Structure formats: structure tokens, C-alpha cells
């Protein structure tokens, strides 16, 4: 039994016409209560989905108000509940009377987002779609609308769902192995689990890699740090974020996995990704790491080309010539280590920022530049990418990180692996609302406007 709620889901009156929505188990009966004097008086007279002209008489003394109503049976409305949509004149005095009458007969005003929440609870839409309803309302341009549409059409839910299903499959196998270890049910060994989990990790990386910045509320743009081994990329990440996120070492090839950081500047956030140095891979693990890094740079996020400015100008020139042609429009050179005695001539590469991660010189200015740059660079214009909002991005990214740890530690035994995987899965399921805690739902739906 769902309480009957109501709200105007059109811009506020005065207006020539407004749309009043009723939703809940006895929505039709409450609507009939608005028709004191005029037929039809019984719910059976209202045919579902067929627009019906009626006169609303909320008060015996007031003149009847002409309206057009559409009744939805349980299971066929947008929320999945019984519902009525009424188009009526948006005259404030009339509306006040009608809404007051609805309250008298036992309906109550909806809270912001309550219709969408009901649709979610009834399984009509997943959480990523529910959130995109809010994003659609806030969308500022056609690109944003196109991106939101793809989420509304369920693409995000499909991709997340498919990754979750694969994790669940591995979990089920591992758990069967644990439960029946005496009964000789074969449990996938760590090697096999790894083989099954690697593609899931790749899928998540791809989802995170395909994510682009945009004007959709909450989306975070991303910048990549790219360059030769030992250029000073990890040091730069640490200096820009003010945190010791990445390991720094004089040995070339220190960074083997992407390290994420968050830049914050005048209320805007940008994700910054430190990648392994560009080099010939030695060994299988390294070659996989480099392959993954190249996939990330092949997406169209802006790239900071980090250069050790103490190197020979001719060598740097050569490196520039070897950068892929397609990158040209999204590469920004940064000469680092400017505290060193030997440093390239100021005339050389004039468009490059000159910074030192060691002394901090130029770091604040670079941070400001990067945040401003990310807001107007290429990734922004794409409409074909899925866009995660900040909440979704954080969840998928955490899941990805947990999964990556799980894969590395797979040898430590199935019990630990099961725990890691469950943790990863929980984050993923929160994106679509499979396992979203009540207070998070409250927070999400409270961001909606009234009548949605
Ligand atoms: N003097 C000076 N040394 C720096 C600076 N930035 C980095 N270094 C040194 O350069 C070396 C390499 O730095 P990293 O930040 O690890 O370089 P990286 O590009 O991340 O290297 P890989 O991860 O191996 O590709 C370390 O010994 C750092 O201490 C700087 O601004 N000034
Ligand atoms: Mg590094």
C-alpha cells in the first residue's frame, strides 16, 4: 500500500497550464474526490491511458475547473504505482484550493525526488538512471543531454551490471570451493582467478578511461601525466596534490601502475593520473603495465608531457618529434626540475611551464593552469562517453583499486580473495543501487527538485 502523494511537475504557477501528478495505491480514488459535483464518479469510469476532460470541483461554491486527466494503472505508470496526471489552469487561487482539498481527502505533498525514488524502489529504473533524471534537469547544453540520455537508456547500468556479474561468478566459484573443500569441489586456483578477474579490471579501466569531463553536475575532468622514466612525473603528482601519493625514486621505472590524485582549485576538482614512464618493457608484468598506460593515454583526456629540464635541448626536441600526431592538440609540455643547476635555456620550448617539485617553484601556478585547461579541453566535448558523476566515479574507481589489489594478492589464499572481491563488488553495486544504503539514497534523492 503506497500513500498517495502529489506535486506539480511543471514550472511553478502562475502559468497558463500546469501538470499535477498523483501517485500511490488509491491515486484514482483521491482524484475522484476532486470531482464532488461532476461525473465520472467512479474509478471504473476512468479508462487507463485515455485522456479525459473533467470538471474539478474542489469546493461546492467555486466554479468548476476544466482539466484533462490521464489515469495510469498500477504497473504501467512511470513509477510503477497507480497514478493520475492532470493538466489544469495554473491560476494560483485555483491550485491552492485543489491542493488543499487533496490534503483534506488524505493525499500528501511529495518530497523532492519522491516520484523518482518510487520508480527506483519499484525496480522501474536503476539508481544510475534515477540520478540522470536530476542531471537531465540540470543539463546545460545538448552534449550534456546526449550523455545523460545514454545513462537514462540504461547503458551505465548494463556495463556496471556486466562487470558485477563477472565478479559474482568468480566469487561464487571461490566460495563453493571454500564451502565444499572436503568434498573435492574444484576451486579456481589463484592463477585461474587472476585469469578471470583481469578482463573485469580491464573493463573497469576502460569505463573509467572513457569517462569524460563535462558540464553534467558532478563530473570530474581528468589530466594524465606522461613522459620518460625518471622525468619527475610522480614527484610532480605529489607536489601538485600536496600528498605523498606516488613513490619517487632515482631508479627509472619506479611507477608501474597508474596512481590517482585529486587537484582542488577554486572549488573545482580535477583528477590527475600519474602513469608509468614511457619505455621499452622488460618482462611480462611491465609490458602489461605499459599496455594499460597506453590505453589510458589513447582516450582523449588532456596530457601533461613531463620533461626533465636538465636534459639536453636537442634530446627533448627529438622526444617531441616522436610524440604521436594525434596527441598534438591535447599535450601541454611541463619542464620540471628547474631547481637543478643545469636547466634548458628560457627561449627553449617557451609554451612550457617551468617548475620544480623539489623547491615548489611554479607549482601553484601550474595547478591553476591545469584546472582551467581541463575545463576547456577535448575530453569535454565528447558526447559518446559515459559520464559518471562524482559519486559514481568514486565507487567505480574504488572498486577498480580493490580489484587490482585482490589480483595482486590472489596468492594469499581464497579466503582473503573472497573478502577483497566482496568489497569490490559492494562498491560496484552501489552505483546502480543494488546495495545502496538508505542514507545514501536519502542524500541522492534530496538533490532533486519537487515534482520529479
Ligand atoms: N632536483 C630535483 N629532482 C627531482 C625533481 N623531480 C623529481 N626529481 C628526482 O628525479 C628522480 C625521478 O623522480 P620520479 O618522480 O620518481 O620520476 P618519474 O617520472 O615518476 O619516474 P618513473 O616512475 O620511473 O617513470 C627522483 O630521484 C626525484 O627525486 C625536481 O623537481 N628537482
Ligand atoms: Mg613515477
Q: Give the pLDDT band of residue 214 (cuts 50, 70, 90).
A: very low
Q: Are residues 233 and 371 in the same domain?
A: yes
Q: Are residues 353 and 399 in the same domain?
A: no
Count how many domains the chain has: 3
Q: Are residues 233 and 364 in the same domain?
A: yes
Looking at all shown ligands, the one closest to residue 235's CA atom is 1
**Residues of the chain above pLDDT 90, percent:** 32
How many angstroms does the Cα of residue 249 sit away from the middle of ligand 1?
6
Q: Are residues 228 and 368 in the same domain?
A: yes
Looking at all shown ligands, the one closest to residue 228's CA atom is 1
Does the residue 336 lie in any domain? yes
Looking at all shown ligands, the one closest to residue 357's CA atom is 1
How many angstroms does the Cα of residue 275 sit away from the middle of ligand 1?
13
Q: Model-level pTM greater than 0.85?
A: no
Is 186's pLDDT higher than 60? no
What is the pLDDT at residue 350? 87
Does the residue 255 lie in any domain? yes
Does the residue 168 lie in any domain? yes
Sheet hosting strand 83-90, strand order edge to edge: 52-56, 65-72, 83-90, 15-23, 5-8, 108-109
Q: Are residues 170 and 231 in the same domain?
A: no
Q: Are residues 272 and 347 in the same domain?
A: yes
User: Strand, helix or coil at 65?
Assistant: strand
Bridge-based pairing of strands 222-227 and 108-109 is unpaired
> Residue 363 sits in which domain range?
222-376
pLDDT in tens, 101-139: 999 999 999 988 899 989 998 988 888 888 877 777 766
- For residue 250 and ligand 1, the question of a CB distance below 6 A is answered with yes
Bridge-based pairing of strands 65-72 and 52-56 is antiparallel
Q: Are residues 233 and 290 in the same domain?
A: yes
What is the pLDDT at residue 26? 93
C-alpha cell at 82: 497507480
C-alpha cell at 246: 606516488
Does the residue 424 lie in any domain? yes
Q: Are residues 28 and 89 in the same domain?
A: yes
Burial (0-12, 13-18, 19+ Cβ within 10 Å), 372: middle
Q: What separation in angstroms does the CA of 134 have from each of 138, 391, 393?
A: 6, 14, 17
Neighbours of 395 (CB within 10 A): 20
Domain boundary among 322, 348, 376: 376
Q: Are residues 336 and 239 in the same domain?
A: yes
What is the pLDDT at residue 303? 92
From first CA to last CA, the distance across the chain in angstroms is 21
- Omega before 14 within 30 of 0, i.e. cis: yes
* CATH number of the domain within which 58 lies: 3.30.1360.120
How many angstroms does the Cα of residue 17 sit away from the middle of ligand 1?
65
- For residue 161 and ligand 1, the question of a CB distance below 6 A is answered with no
Q: Are residues 352 and 308 in the same domain?
A: yes
Nearest CA to ligand 1 atom 9: 232
How many angstroms does the Cα of residue 279 sit away from the middle of ligand 1?
16
What is the pLDDT at residue 294? 81
Q: Are residues 362 and 419 in the same domain?
A: no
Q: Are residues 208 and 226 in the same domain?
A: no
Domain boundary among 354, 376, 398: 376
- Omega before 324 within 30 of 0, i.e. cis: no
* CATH number of the domain within which 441 lies: 1.20.120.430
How many angstroms does the Cα of residue 181 sit away from the middle of ligand 2?
43
C-alpha cell at 79: 513509477
Does the residue 122 lie in any domain? no
- Tell me the mean pLDDT in the region 412-441: 84
More confident site: 189 or 370: 370
Strands annotated E in 245-386: 259-265, 268-274, 303-308, 331-336, 353-354
- For residue 238 and ligand 1, the question of a CB distance below 6 A is answered with no
Q: What separation in angstroms does the CA of 392 have from each of 43, 164, 184, 220, 351?
A: 43, 14, 40, 11, 36
- Tell me the mean pLDDT in the region 272-278: 90
What is the pLDDT at residue 240? 95
What is the pLDDT at residue 379? 47
The answer to whether the CB of 2 falls within 8 A of the CB of 81 is yes
Burial (0-12, 13-18, 19+ Cβ within 10 Å), 121: middle
Does the residue 119 lie in any domain? no
Enclosing H/E stretch for 22: strand 15-23
Which residue among 229, 230, 337 is best mutated to probe the pocket of ligand 1, counting the most ligand atoms within 8 A of its Cβ? Answer: 230
* CATH number of the domain within which 251 lies: 3.40.50.300
Cα–Cα distance measured from residue 257 to residue 261, given in angstroms and rounded to the nearest whole number: 13
Domain boundary among 314, 342, 376: 376
- For residue 362 and ligand 1, the question of a CB distance below 6 A is answered with no
Which residue among 228, 233, 234, 235 is best mutated to probe the pocket of ligand 1, counting the most ligand atoms within 8 A of its Cβ? Answer: 235
Is 187's pLDDT higher than 60? no
Does the residue 32 lie in any domain? yes
Does the residue 381 lie in any domain? no
How many residues are given for the chain? 452
User: Strand, helix or coil at 302?
Assistant: coil
Nearest to 69 by CA among 110, 111, 32: 32
Cα–Cα distance measured from residue 442 to residue 122, given in angstroms and rounded to the nearest whole number: 16
How many angstroms does the Cα of residue 369 sit away from the middle of ligand 1?
21
Which residues, 6 or more positions from 25, have their beta carbon under 8 angstroms from its beta carbon? 1, 2, 3, 4, 74, 81, 82
Least confident of 22-36, 59-73, 135-149: 135-149
Amino acid at each position: 500500500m503506497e500513500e498517495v502523494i502529489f506535486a506539480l511537475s511543471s514550472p511553478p504557477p502562475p502559468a497558463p497550464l500546469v501538470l499535477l501528478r498523483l501517485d500511490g495505491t488509491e491515486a484514482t480514488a483521491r482524484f475522484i474526490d476532486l470531482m464532488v459535483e461532476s461525473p465520472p464518479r467512479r474509478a471504473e469510469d476512468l479508462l487507463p491511458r485515455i485522456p479525459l476532460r473533467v470538471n474539478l470541483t474542489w469546493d461546492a461554491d467555486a466554479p468548476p475547473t476544466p482539466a484533462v486527466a490521464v489515469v495510469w494503472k498500477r504497473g504501467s505508470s512511470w513509477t510503477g504505482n497507480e497514478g493520475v496526471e492532470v493538466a489544469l489552469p495554473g491560476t494560483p487561487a485555483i491550485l491552492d484550493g485543489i491542493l488543499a482539498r487533496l490534503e483534506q481527502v488524505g493525499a500528501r505533498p511529495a518530497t523532492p525526488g519522491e516520484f523518482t525514488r518510487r520508480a527506483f524502489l519499484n525496480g522501474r529504473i536503476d539508481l544510475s538512471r534515477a540520478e540522470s533524471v536530476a542531471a537531465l534537469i540540470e543539463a546545460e547544453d545538448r552534449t550534456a543531454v546526449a550523455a545523460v540520455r545514454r545513462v537514462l537508456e540504461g547503458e551505465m547500468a548494463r556495463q556496471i551490471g556486466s562487470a558485477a556479474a563477472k565478479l559474482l561468478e568468480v566469487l561464487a566459484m571461490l566460495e563453493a570451493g571454500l564451502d565444499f573443500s572436503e568434498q573435492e569441489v574444484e576451486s579456481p586456483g589463484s592463477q585461474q582467478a587472476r585469469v578471470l578477474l583481469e578482463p573485469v579490471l580491464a573493463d573497469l579501466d576502460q569505463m573509467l578511461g572513457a569517462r569524460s569531463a563535462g558540464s553534467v553536475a558532478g563530473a570530474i575532468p581528468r589530466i594524465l601525466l606522461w613522459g620518460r622514466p625518471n622525468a619527475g612525473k610522480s614527484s610532480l603528482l605529489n607536489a601538485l596534490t600536496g600528498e605523498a601519493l606516488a613513490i619517487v625514486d632515482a631508479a627509472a621505472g619506479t611507477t608501474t601502475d597508474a596512481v590517482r590524485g585529486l587537484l582542488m582549485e577554486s572549488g573545482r576538482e580535477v583528477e590527475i593520473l600519474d602513469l608509468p614512464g614511457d619505455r621499452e618493457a622488460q618482462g611480462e608484468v611491465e609490458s602489461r603495465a605499459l599496455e594499460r598506460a597506453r590505453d589510458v593515454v589513447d582516450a582523449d583526456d588532456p596530457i601533461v608531457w613531463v620533461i626533465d629540464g636538465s636534459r639536453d635541448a636537442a634530446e627533448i626536441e627529438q622526444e617531441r618529434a616522436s610524440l604521436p600526431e594525434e596527441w598534438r592538440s591535447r599535450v601541454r609540455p611541463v619542464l620540471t626540475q628547474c631547481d637543478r643547476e643545469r636547466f634548458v635555456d628560457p627561449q627553449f620550448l617557451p609554451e612550457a611551464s617551468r617548475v620544480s617539485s623539489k623547491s615548489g617553484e611554479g607549482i601553484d601556478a601550474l595547478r591553476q593552469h591545469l584546472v582551467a585547461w581541463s575545463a576547456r579541453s577535448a575530453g569535454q566535448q565528447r558526447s559518446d562517453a559515459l559520464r559518471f558523476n562524482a559519486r559514481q566515479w568514486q565507487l567505480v574507481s574504488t572498486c577498480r583499486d580493490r580489484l587490482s589489489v585482490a589480483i595482486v594478492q590472489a596468492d594469499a589464499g581464497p579466503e582473503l580473495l573472497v573478502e577483497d572481491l566482496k568489497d569490490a563488488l559492494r562498491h560496484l553495486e552501489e552505483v546502480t543501487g543494488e546495495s545502496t544504503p538508505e542514507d545514501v539514497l536519502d542524500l541522492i534523492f534530496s538533490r532533486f527538485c519537487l515534482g520529479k
